[in-house]
Amino acid sequence: MQKIYFDNAATTPLDKAVVEVMTEHMLDNFGNPSSSHEFGRKAKVQVETARKHIAAYFNCGPSEVIFTAGGSEADNLILFNAVKNLGIERIISTPIEHHAVLHTIEALKKDHGIDVEYLSVDGQGEIDFKELESKLKTSEKKSLVSLMHVNNEIGNILDIQKVSNLCKETGALFHSDTVQGIGHVPIDLKVCPIDFIVASAHKFHGPKGVGFAIIKKGYKIEPMLHGGEQEMGTRAGTENTHSIVGLDKALTMTMDNFDEDHRYISDLKRYFIAQIMEKVPGVSFNGLSADMDRSAFHILNVRFPIDKPMLLFNLDLKGIAASGGSACQSGSSKGSHVLGAILNEEDAKHSSVRFSFSKYNTKEEIDRVIKEVALIVNN
């Protein structure tokens, strides 16, 4: 039975070229980047080369790039430092952020007594910018706005330029969980001066367990892990050299092939929308995921006209991988906190599935998936 993977928003397959470069460095470039001998210097060069490449892609300084174990650690590093070292007294966010942000904010509120305010979101998962502006202008407390760039469940793209402008006008800091957007929606930090962004390599065909934070120069950042002085004193621990090299290779390929991949995957998404609307009457789409201009080109969140509790399970039996919502909640009985926040009571009772695509998917795969979905839902 042919396996079909439509859960690329959760994680992406490793690109073979990434595997090759990582294998090469694991075997031939095993030195500790902190060692002063030739082996260590060679490893250090690879780490710093990757840092320079990332800085160039996002139009920032290399010293602003901090390697981490992924997006969740990067979010924690930024948010904890904002409160403990940058004087943040209030965080403004939404109830549909990734749990790496929501749970961190909850911990900061509990342990440090900060104020937390959540913006309302409408039935499409959109914020009201006037509400954000009002909150920013009606408090004297030093504030940080934490809003994700691309929602990992419904694909909505936030107007980060508009948020950046509001934060700049009011003296607030702006953190964006950009994990789902990196490689899918371009960011130029000179044009859109966000204070903090994050990335995780496994979202763009790189390895798991490695990512980075970009922290605007001048902010005092203290490590959450204590030990050595790696990462310019912001993160103790020997750098994961081969994974950093893999991240660099994956990001380079993503950026070099962005236009081609964007066209190809967007075409797949349009085809999927057309086919499922034809073959499964009554389907609708959560958030803005079916809007090709306002959502990420790789995410589509489909709501079916009935409740089929075993839909994902039955698809899995057919060799088809998709998700009921956030990957962090796959298999959870709690359901999606994002859909719970934006859907009315009746719509929330219906089955929703997130299908997410990559350059490795095909229209032939879509045809088979739609056929299997139609058999399950229409019977």
3-state SS record for 175-187: EECCCCCCCCCCC
pLDDT tens-digit series, residues 297-328: 999 999 999 999 899 999 999 999 999 853 33
3-state secondary structure of 146: strand
Query: Which of the listed CATH numbers 3.40.640.10, 3.30.450.20, 3.40.1160.10, 3.40.109.10 matches domain 16-256?
Result: 3.40.640.10
- CATH topology (fold) of 4-12+258-377: Aspartate Aminotransferase, domain 1 (3.90.1150)
Cα–Cα distance for residue pair 146/179, rounded to 1 Å: 13
pLDDT tens-digit series, residues 250-284: 999 999 999 999 999 999 999 999 999 999 999 99
The tokens of 123 are what? 């039935």
Spell out a b/e string for 301-326, using b for 16 or more CB atoms within 10 Å of the CB, else e: bbbbeeebeebbebbeebebbbbbbb
- Identify the DSSP state of 350: S
3-state secondary structure of 223: coil
Residues of the chain with CATH 3.90.1150.10: 4-12+258-377
The upper half-sphere exposure of residue 1, i.e. CA atoms within 13 Å in the direction of its Cβ, equals: 11
- pLDDT for the residue 325: 54
Q: Are 337 and 95 in contact (CB under 8 A)?
A: yes
Tell me if residue 167 is catalytic.
Answer: no
Residues of the chain with CATH 3.40.640.10: 16-256
Choice among 60, 167, 192, 328 that is catalytic: 328
Distances (CA, A) of 76 to 85, 118, 221, 222, 248: 13, 18, 12, 12, 22
Least confident of 15-19, 136-140, 267-271: 136-140
**CA nearest neighbour of 118 among 137, 96, 94:** 94
